[in-house]
Amino acid sequence: LIGGGPPDGARIPGCLSCTPLAYAPAANRLHRGRLSRLGPMGFVCQGRYALAPIEPTDAEKYVNLQLDCMEQTYDPIYFDVLGESFTARHRAERNEYLEDFHRHLASPTVRGFFAYEVPGWTPDGGLSCAVGTQIDWEKPVGLALSLCEPSSWELERADDLSELPAGTRKLTHLYTLDHTHGTGLGQALYDSVIYPDENSYLWVMAENERALSFYERLGYQRNSIEFEARGIWAPGHSVRYARILNP
């Protein structure tokens, strides 16, 4: 039974729509019986999804979801140009994705959450649908991760990048499976890793119009920095968006 709540009404920082997810024995066993250093668990979207911290042991689960979401997003965009699956090339570099995951999770600045569907959720039932439910913790439907550190390729191109204020947080990843689109999950995941009052930026493929619209609604502005993607990211174009609240 999932009920009660974490100590002192703890909630996912920055997640305004989040309702605490209790630290019931069953949930604790699934998450190694302790509160992750990345934060507590919680319900979002009126109880439709549960957010839980990404742990260092979640590499395979993380990369599996990341690549599946990329396939749903990018293959339709680039297939006509490439004549083949865009994501197939990324799956061939799976070990690099796993290395990136471990490097990200080792950072002291990392924030990261998975999203899981609550089985049997209905709009009328809301949070009550979580009572006694059995969430499949091996099948996340979304993820978000942010850091206060640039990527290695950003450092290589530092001379070409305009400087951002010190401490600006980078939204490194935000992915959701396409059947969750329009439910508010992307917003909830975003809120869990980017706080309302902090400077932040991200890189997004210019051809991903859905993502561009989403970030522009959140107040991000395109700052004219665009690169032609290299290697397995070709033929896309990567653009930087920033939301600077405290110059």
DSSP annotation string for 174-243: EEE-GGGTTTTHHHHHHHHHS-TTS-EEEEEETT-HHHHHHHHHTT-EEEEEEEE--GGGTT-EEEEEEE
Give residue 8's pLDDT band: very low, low, confident or very high (50, 70, 90).
very low
Q: What letter would DSSP give residue 32? A: T
What are the pLDDT digits (tens) for 100-152?
A: 999 999 999 999 999 999 999 999 998 888 788 889 999 999 999 999 998 88
Residues 151-176: what's their mean pLDDT?
Answer: 91
First CA to last CA distance, the chain: 47
Averaged pLDDT for residues 43-58: 95
Residues whose CB is less than 8 angstroms from the CB of residue 105 and which lie 6 or more positions away in sequence, other chains included: 54, 55, 56, 59, 112
Mean pLDDT of the chain: 85
Whether the ω angle into residue 108 lies within 30 degrees of 0, i.e. cis, is no
pLDDT band at 43 (very low <50, low <70, confident <90, very high): very high
What is the helix, strand, coil percentage profile of the chain, to 5?
35, 20, 40
CA angle in degrees (0–180, nearest 5) for 77-82-59: 70
The residue with greater pLDDT, 156 or 63, is 63
Q: What is the pLDDT of residue 222?
A: 92
What is the rounded average pLDDT of the residues 168-192?
97
Check pLDDT > 70 for residue 24: no
Query: Where on the phi/psi map is residue 45: left (φ > 0), alpha (ψ -120 to 50), or beta?
Result: left
Which H or E run includes 20?
strand 19-20
Is 36:53 a contact under the CB 8 Å cutoff? Answer: yes
